[in-house]
Amino acid sequence: MTRLSLRYDDTNMRSAAVGKTGVSPREWSAMLPRLRAARNAVQKLARMKEQGFMDLPFERKTNAVCTKLAKQLSRSFTDLVVLGIGGSDLGARALQQALAPVDEHKKGTMRLHFAGSSTDPDELSRLLKRLNMKKTCVNVISKSGDTLETMAAFLVFRDRILKSVGPGRMPSHIVATTDEESGSLNELARKERYELLPVPMNVGGRFSVLSSVGLFPAAAIGIDTTLLLQGAKSFVEGFHECTPNECMSTRYAGLHVIGMERRDQRIHVTMPYATRLAWFAHWVRQLVAESLGKQTSRKGKTIHAGPTPVNAVGPEDQHSQMQLYNEGPFDKLITFIEVKRFNGDIRTPAAGTMGNAIARFGSRSFQDLIHLERRATAESLCRNMRPNATLTMDRIDARAMGELIMFWEIAVALMGELTDVNAYNQPGVELSKRIMREAFT
């Protein structure tokens, strides 16, 4: 089995570390048959092509098309605006922050911007003022083409481009990522001759970051999408090969479901100790909320199920949320993400003449400091009987991000099986969309 960058340490989720708030050996043994059944069900959905997110890392053709188009467009355009919302932009935002920060713009790539996730006119106005439309490409992402926020922003950008370059050149500024066969955006793209990138029918938006939805923006800013997919592929292969006790996603899913069922631990916190993973925690929040928060079971029984996902960032949120986590209700399960090696490091200067209170901070590595803060936070939680686990990645690179994405997608799919909900629909979201559509008729 391929060695992975990720390690999942669930020691502090167990009763031996945190007492009665943690999972006991007997509870874990009882969960193992359910985990095997859940894994078989998720594998069957993939094998029958009902759910395609685990196939995406193996889709070389899509990656090649996205990479080629990104290189081609970067010769003509300096800026790329992604118009999407939810699963159509959170993944790309997470990849940009983690792997291609805006202040590290690479020569021969485009600067990436996001709109279409809000109807805040001030935010959109500021972006429009900054852009030269003659040098701007727009990637509008909507599977159906009827997403209010995204399509409203698209109409504005299309009009600005049209007025800037004229009807003959306007289509060359637009890439539509949408359903490959039908839908209003598909129809418009074919009619006006936009570049068209298809979204697989069997991949939902929140699971789509490794499809053209995330790969094209990632390639446009110079991310090595081949390595990204290789990391995800390695994780999928490991999932198929390992036992429930060995598989990281399986352990995560089982421990969290036991916590929900046995101790009402329904607030699940994702807390990376790396600022570059802040948007990734936002992506996790959507994945968990939309997949697992459901009114009915798959059999139609009313259950109003699902955890409440919370995202935090360390060390910052040690000073804003940790008081609650340490002394508030015993309803939280916390997952830290730790980066073993950062790309750079800074040391504090010696401070021997400033008095003992300040001098103790001298000659310290910031990399060591952030690791110390994560360990101290985990230990404080343990002492207060608060379950927590740590996902450690060797470093933040494309391969590790592919593993991290697939870790959570598979874990959430497994939790859907364990809690008997359809992890792939979102009727609660569709209702508000329908109400908005009715307001426009």
Catalytic residues: 290, 319, 433
C-alpha 191 chain-centroid distance: 33
At which residue do the structure tokens 């485009």 appear? Answer: 110
Tell me the residue length of the chain: 441
CA 232, 234, 237, 238 torsion-angle sign: negative
Backbone dihedral region for residue 73 (phi beyond 0: left; psi -120 to 50: alpha; all else: beta): alpha
How far apart, in whole angstroms, are the C-alpha atoms of residue 434 and residue 318?
40
| Integer angstrom CA distances of residue 313 from 92, 164, 275, 409 | 19, 41, 7, 20
Query: Which residues on adjacent β-strands are paired with residue 296?
Result: 302
Q: Which two tokens mark 70?
A: 């990104």
| Integer angstrom CA distances of residue 280 from 332, 389, 396 | 20, 17, 12
Closest CA to 73 of 185, 195, 186, 188: 195
Contact 220, 212 (CB under 8 A): no
Closest CA to 291 of 202, 408, 206: 206
Four-point Cα dihedral 277, 98, 340, 24, nearest 10: 40
Q: Which residue spans within 38-110 are E strands per DSSP?
A: 79-83
